[in-house]
């Protein structure tokens, strides 16, 4: 049975394993090699289960472990053309690492096919990923986006499971210590998704048939898991649906707890 396992998720580091014990992929590598090994061992997933590393974009919190983890795993690295070019130019890929450009085509990973979609974010390019399993189930990882574009919406709706960004609480960002330019950057349409934006999207997702939600990429400065959870529940309750009856909801913790969500 395929599952989603968040190895880490916050503005400081992101990495998610999607698959089963034998076959899967890693979305982003924003953690140290040591931490990666610890977290995989913790769940008893052999490293050889990872058949590919999918990189959303070049920001440090998504690729800081790519060189070392990529060298250990020795599997293809998938991303957009622009991101690959940037990573080659800036020596961000593991030595001898094979990078494969994801067009609109499906990357065949055995038990699943992976497609990408563009997310509006202030990097050279940014992607979200949609994993379709052979049994028809669909998992989506969608973080680092300032707003929900039509392309994003079309790509995430109808999935079974989604890890969706719930980056900041409006009040905390407004009152927080970040300089004005950074506050503006985060809340812009090419920044990050707020708790409120995320919560509204969850309602649309629920209507589309999605029932397994994981909130991710929470800012450690401008958010709290309780606030993200509350925003989501406040919106979802308006639909008349009930937690743990009609849908499940969790927060991907900054440092993993070992919990997995079955897809
Ligand atoms: Zn990020
Ligand atoms: Zn980013």
SS (H, E, C) 1-68: CCEEEEEEEECCEEEEEEECCCCEEEECCCCCHHHHHHHHHHHCCCHHHEEEEECCCCCHHHHCCHHH
Confidence category of residue 257, pLDDT binned at 50, 70, 90: confident
Closest among 27, 230, 252 to 128, alpha carbons compared: 27
- Quick one: pLDDT at residue 202? 98
Contact status, residue 82 vs residue 124, Cβ threshold 8 Å: yes
175-218 pLDDT, tens digit per residue, is 999 999 999 999 999 999 999 999 999 999 999 999 999 999 99
Q: 137 C-alpha vs ligand 1 centroid, how far in Å?
A: 26
Terminal C-alpha separation, the chain: 8
CA of 218 to the centre of ligand 1 (A): 9
- Ligand 1 center to residue 76 CA distance, Å? 21
Give 174-183 pLDDT, tens digit per residue.
999 999 999 9
CA of 126 to the centre of ligand 2 (A): 8
Tell me what pLDDT residue 133 has: 97
Gap from CA of 56 to ligand 2 centroid (Å): 8
- From the CA of 239, how far away is ligand 1's center (Å)? 30
**Residue 259 binned pLDDT confidence (cut-offs 50, 70, 90):** confident
**Per-residue pLDDT tens over the stretch 64-108:** 999 999 999 999 999 999 999 999 999 999 998 999 999 778 999
- DSSP 8-state class, residue 69: H
3-state secondary structure 207-254: HHCCCEEEEECCCCCCCCHHHHHHHHHHHHHCCCCCECCCEEEEECCC
Q: Residue 123 Cα, ligand 2 centroid: separation in angstroms?
A: 7
Q: Which residues sit with Cβ closer than 5 angstroms to ligand 1, an ion?
A: 61, 144
Q: Which domain holds residue 90?
A: 3-262
Give the ligand with the smallest distance to the CA of 57: 2
pLDDT in tens, 116-143: 999 999 999 999 999 999 999 999 999 9
pLDDT digits (tens, 9 = 90+) for 156-172: 999 999 999 999 999 99
If you measure from the C-alpha of residue 67 to the centroid of ligand 1, how many angstroms do you get, rounded to a whole number? 18
Q: Residue 8's pLDDT is what?
A: 96
Give yes or no for residue 25 having a pLDDT over 80: yes
| Distance from the alpha carbon of residue 1 to the mean position of ligand 1, in angstroms | 28
Residue 170: both structure tokens together: 């409006």
Please name which ligand lies nearest the alpha carbon of 165: 1
211: domain CATH number? 3.60.15.10
How many structural domains compose the chain?
A: 1
Query: Whole-model pTM?
Result: 0.97
Ligand nearest to C-alpha 30: 1
Minimum-distance ligand to the CA of 145? 2
| Beta strand pairing call for 161-165 and 13-19 | unpaired
- Cα of 101 from ligand 2 centre, angstroms: 19
Residues 6+ apart with CB under 8 A from 234: 199
Above 80 in pLDDT, residue 258? no
What pLDDT score was predicted for residue 105? 86
- Pairing, β 50-54 against β 77-79: parallel
């Amino acid at each position: 049975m395929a599952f989603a396992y968040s190895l880490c998720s916050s503005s400081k580091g992101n990495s998610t394993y999607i698959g089963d014990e034998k076959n899967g992929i890693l979305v982003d590598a924003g953690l140290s090699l040591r931490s990666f090994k610890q977290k995989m061992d913790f769940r008893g997933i052999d490293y050889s289960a990872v058949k590919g590393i999918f990189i959303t974009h070049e920001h440090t919190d998504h690729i800081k472990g790519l060189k070392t983890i990529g060298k250990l795993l020795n599997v293809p690295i998938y991303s957009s053309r622009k991101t690959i070019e940037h990573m080659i130019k800036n020596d961000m890929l593991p030595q001898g690492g094979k990078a494969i450009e994801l067009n609109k085509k499906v990357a065949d990973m055995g038990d699943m096919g992976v497609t990408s979609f563009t997310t509006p974010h202030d990097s050279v390019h940014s992607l979200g990923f949609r994993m379709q399993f052979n049994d028809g189930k669909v998992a989506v990882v969608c973080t680092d986006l300032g707003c929900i574009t039509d392309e994003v919406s079309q790509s995430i709706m109808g999935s079974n499971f989604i890890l969706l960004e719930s980056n900041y609480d409006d009040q905390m960002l407004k009152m927080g210590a970040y300089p004005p330019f950074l506050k503006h950057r985060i809340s812009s349409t090419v920044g990050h998704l707020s708790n409120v934006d995320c919560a509204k999207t969850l309602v649309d997702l629920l209507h589309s048939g999605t029932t397994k939600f994981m909130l991710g990429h929470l800012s450690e400065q401008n958010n709290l898991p309780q606030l993200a959870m509350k925003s989501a529940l406040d919106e979802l309750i308006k639909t008349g649906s009930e937690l743990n009856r009609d849908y499940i909801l969790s927060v991907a913790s900054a440092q993993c707890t070992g919990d997995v969500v079955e897809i």
